Structure 1
Amino acid sequence: MSSFDTDVPVLLLRLDPPPFHHGALGAIRSLGRAGIEVHAVGESARGPVGRSRYLHRMYELPAGPVAPAPLLDLLRTVSEGIGRPAVLIPLDDRGAIAAARLAGPLLGRYLLPAQPADLPERLADKAELARLCRELDLPHPATALPASAQQAADAAGELGLPLVAKWSRPWLLTPSAGLRGTTLVRTRDDARRLYELTERAGSALLLQRRLAGGPDTDWFFHGCFTRGGACLIGGSGREERAWPLRTGLTAVGRRLPNPQVERAALRLAGQLGYRGILGLDFRRDAHGRYHLLDVNPRPGDRFRLFTDPSSGLDVVRALHLDLTGRTVPLARSAPGRPFRAENAENYALLSALAAACAERPAARPPGTGRARRQGVERAWFAADDPLPFLAMTGSWLRSGLRKGAYRMRTAPPGGTPLPARPLPARPLGVSQRP
């Protein structure tokens, strides 16, 4: 494998860190094991990710949303602390959009993919993605962009209920808004009332025909692209369990070749001239077509699934090699490579328990038996870096105990515990993966 330029460090940027973000930990470990100095902007150094032995330094974000001007000042300050140019790798959509917009002012301090400043934002915007799919003739669920509450109700009737509602720019949602990025809408009135919250959401509402989920329906692609949209390394995979079930983050995933998914991803990146790391989510419909649901212009939590077994190359390592002018070795393709799965231990446990308690457990996709468990890669536990796993476990258990204690305190005497927070008289629906 080509040697890394270890004189060039990496800064990982995450503007919206959840408490248990194993994707950031995977990037830290991958780059740190290659001998690269890794810095990060995001959660507290006292959090699970900040405990990694491969992290050189964690820079904490100020409280609250970070506007472009303060973020530029922060990145300049971090650059001064690092002392030399660094590869900048955003780990969430907000960070990817901000980094692309600030690439000009950051020139000389950070190495970033050379591409149009608005391209990551176009890809992350759900309304723009629907337009791109129409232009590129890529399968995408039927989508309406209502201009009034009445149009929202009418579109709900035309698309069929239940349907999926999305805010086109979910990274603009704030905790105070009390809204989910994606919601399952069951009635025309729900669609009407949801549209009336547009101003609070900060972006347009999309209504989208729902594609039924099930075993072998949810697929994804991760890849790293260089000039002209050429793929340096990438592949397709299948989600096997999520938390919450069928609606949330991937708890267990498996790398599997899927020519239709891979062709769609390569076509999108090639047509747009995308450069950098890209993640895409697909759902297979009843006719066998793979609809593109979501695009993330940055590494996803599952990127370690797509590690070359012989060289150890993955998307974050490939990007570092590419941006520092090193040769990126040819990665082995997915067909014929050994099985590899990633398991987010905390979410996998919850999803397994929920599936076991379900009245009719979901059918297991082919190739998921215990005989193949030797290929599992854990998201948190690593023998050479155990502290993040221990910190995550402790934080996770403490969080669960706090919630349980609160419910016990608020339970009426001899009655059923009250919900942790007031529920609206008519809930708009449950969170639903697009």
Structure 2
Amino acid sequence: MARNAVSVPFEADRDVPGLIVKFGDYPLHHGGVGAIRSLGRLGVPMYAITEDAYTPAASSRYLKRAFVWPTTGAEEPDHLVEGLLRIGRRIGRPTVLIPTDEEAAVLIAEHQDALGDRFLFPRVDPELPRRLASKQGLHELCVEHGIPSPAAAFPDSYDEIADFAEKARFPIVAKNREAFVRRKQPAVNGTTRIATREGLLALARDWGTHPGVILQEYLPREEAEDWIVHAYFDADSTPRALFTGVKVRSWPPHAGMTANAYVVDNPELADLAARFIKQIGFTGIIDLDLRFDRRDGQYKLLDFNPRMGAQFRLFESEPGVDVVRAMHLDLTGRRVPEGEQRTGHRYVVENIDLPALLAYRRSGYTTPHAPKRPSGTELAWLAGDDPLPFVTMLARFVRPGAKHLYQLWRTNRRGSSNATKQAP
């Protein structure tokens, strides 16, 4: 059943609102709705930047006001900073910023001085979030600090790609080097599996004189497991809330956002994440994707999102703390209660899990760590105490959403011989 309002053994500061900060056109964002509900159920006044007045987030009973501000994420930083400050003046009191994408997280980090008088947010090395969101920057940090990651190359020309193709062991994976290119003209659509040398060279002809791609070792899903870590780290890079789980299904299959996941205890993985964060000195919310490679017994870090992940509501401690609540408590000077994570809990994104389930059954792929019977289920959209976001999602999703799912599926199927979508 969907999780509704519950009592918790702590109180949030209801005089400090929260603001969901998102740049770009993706109105069906369940993570933002989850954050609005999470703090709103504690009595925290919630605000959100939305594409229009009819998004699921804007319809939540826990949202005090939606600030309609259509953006692409490619605007000049000064324009976005001024827009945030203008919203801050309208709210009229110090407000916790909750970024839901890399553009917002990087903008806040790189303009801390300008935003700091009006907003509350974790203070971090201004250059670190951009580096972590970059595939190349993350790979370099992993090498520097001894964190396992897939072998990778970063070609700067077609000739370098051709040289790589002569030596590479196929299949390989191609990704966009920088996180923000999805707002512009990405070289590849997401994570792309390339099966042959000929397939790589054919694709590379369209990447221009300066290909912004990373060519990475392919980790076959038959020999691997997808794990996720969500956490909040304080100003000393100490974890105040840290959770581990497994991704059961995603959409597009093996390549997209989480559609179904479980909370699974993994002390080794938790220690790896905490150690890495301490080494790089990060503070704030993190969302990590790792793949356990059974061939060498290593957890390899694939993606580092320096902000709240869309599926963060999968994770909650026994006292009722999730990463968004932990951040709000910490930034307002309140103690973050300690407690074990709700092992066995399940998270389901209703509008994408059904097609994902059908696709995974066809492929025969299973996740060995998923419990047979979940201890509880958190639905991304449906909640008994806040039903309108689910209704709004359905209204906006049914026709264009079904067409989009079909297009994603066709993209995934069409290139199976040379280049296909594949798990990161």
| Corresponding position of 1:272 | 280
Superposed displacement of residue 186, structure 1? 2.4
Superposed displacement of residue 18, structure 1? 2.4
Query: Any unmatched runs of 5+ in structure 2?
Result: 1-8
How far apart in 1 are the matches of 2:313 and 2:54? 24
- Of the structure 1 ranges 223-232 and 58-67, higher mean CA displacement relative to structure 2 is found in 58-67
117, 142, 147: which is aligned to 2:126? 117
308, 322, 332: which is aligned to 1:299? 308
| Corresponding position of 1:206 | 214
| Contact persistence 1:219–1:237 (CA under 8 A) | yes
| Contact persistence 1:184–1:430 (CA under 8 A) | yes
- Of the structure 1 ranges 24-33 and 169-178, higher mean CA displacement relative to structure 2 is found in 169-178
| Corresponding position of 1:59 | 67
CA separation of 1:390 and 1:163: change in aligned 2, threshold 3 A: same
Superposed displacement of residue 19, structure 1? 3.8
How far apart in 2 are the matches of 1:176 and 1:136? 32
CA separation of 1:420 and 1:61: change in aligned 2, threshold 3 A: farther
- Of the structure 1 ranges 269-278 and 182-191, higher mean CA displacement relative to structure 2 is found in 182-191
How far apart in 1 are the matches of 2:416 and 2:398? 32
| Corresponding position of 1:353 | 358
| Corresponding position of 2:349 | 344
| Corresponding position of 2:13 | 5
Superposed displacement of residue 367, structure 1? 4.4
How far apart in 2 are the matches of 1:120 and 1:46? 31
* Equivalent residues, number: 412
Q: Deviations over 1:94-147 (max 9, x none)?
A: 110111111111121111211111111111111011111111111111111113
Q: Deviations over 1:283-331 (max 9, x none)?
A: 111222110011000010221122112x21111011011111112122x
- The question of 1:365 aligning with 2:373 is answered no
How far apart in 1 are the matches of 2:133 and 2:252? 23
Superposed displacement of residue 157, structure 1? 3.9
| Contact persistence 1:170–1:181 (CA under 8 A) | no
How far apart in 2 are the matches of 1:420 and 1:280? 28
CA separation of 1:401 and 1:110: change in aligned 2, threshold 3 A: closer
CA separation of 1:203 and 1:2: change in aligned 2, threshold 3 A: farther
| Contact persistence 2:172–2:195 (CA under 8 A) | yes
Q: Deviations over 1:385-423 (max 9, x none)?
A: 00111111222212256679x99xxxxxxxxxxx999x9
| Corresponding position of 2:387 | 386
| Contact persistence 2:49–2:67 (CA under 8 A) | yes
Structure number with the bigger relative contact order (C-alpha 8 A, sep ≥ 6) is 2
Q: Deviations over 1:129-185 (max 9, x none)?
A: 111111111111111111321221222343311111112113123355574132222
How far apart in 2 are the matches of 1:403 and 1:314? 31
| Contact persistence 2:173–2:192 (CA under 8 A) | yes
Instruction: Give the partner amino acid of 1:432.
Output: Q
User: Residue 29 of structure 1: SS of its match in structure 2?
Assistant: helix
CA separation of 1:400 and 1:320: change in aligned 2, threshold 3 A: closer
Identity between Structure 1 and Structure 2 (%): 37
- The question of 1:431 aligning with 2:402 is answered no
How far apart in 2 are the matches of 1:169 and 1:181? 11
Superposed displacement of residue 428, structure 1? 7.0
CA separation of 1:67 and 1:199: change in aligned 2, threshold 3 A: farther
Superposed displacement of residue 70, structure 1? 0.8
| Contact persistence 1:240–1:365 (CA under 8 A) | no
- The question of 1:22 aligning with 2:12 is answered no
TM-score with structure 2 length normalisation? 0.90
| Corresponding position of 1:97 | 106
- Of the structure 1 ranges 99-108 and 217-226, higher mean CA displacement relative to structure 2 is found in 99-108
| Corresponding position of 2:54 | 46
Superposed displacement of residue 16, structure 1? 2.8
CA separation of 1:137 and 1:284: change in aligned 2, threshold 3 A: same
How far apart in 1 are the matches of 2:247 and 2:51? 27
How far apart in 2 are the matches of 1:348 and 1:187? 31
| Contact persistence 1:195–1:205 (CA under 8 A) | no
Q: How does 1:218-367 map to 2 (within 5 A)?
A: 218-285=226-293, 286-309=295-318, 311-330=319-338, 332-334=339-341, 337-356=342-361, 358=362, 361-367=364-370
| Corresponding position of 2:397 | 396
117, 129, 139: which is aligned to 2:148? 139
How far apart in 1 are the matches of 2:279 and 2:115? 27
- The question of 1:106 aligning with 2:96 is answered no
How far apart in 2 are the matches of 1:426 and 1:149? 23
- Of the structure 1 ranges 256-265 and 229-238, higher mean CA displacement relative to structure 2 is found in 256-265
| Contact persistence 1:215–1:240 (CA under 8 A) | no
Superposed displacement of residue 265, structure 1? 0.7
| Contact persistence 1:2–1:326 (CA under 8 A) | no
How far apart in 2 are the matches of 1:115 and 1:420? 41
Indicate the RMSD between aligned Cα atoms, in angstroms: 2.7
TM-score with structure 1 length normalisation? 0.88
Instruction: Give the partner amino acid of 1:361.
Output: G
User: Residue 229 of structure 1: SS of its match in structure 2?
Assistant: coil
Query: Any unmatched runs of 5+ in structure 1?
Result: 408-418
User: Residue 217 of structure 1: SS of its match in structure 2?
Assistant: strand
Superposed displacement of residue 82, structure 1? 0.3
| Corresponding position of 1:154 | 163
CA separation of 1:203 and 1:121: change in aligned 2, threshold 3 A: farther
| Contact persistence 1:13–1:91 (CA under 8 A) | yes
CA separation of 1:107 and 1:158: change in aligned 2, threshold 3 A: same
How far apart in 1 are the matches of 2:114 and 2:42? 29
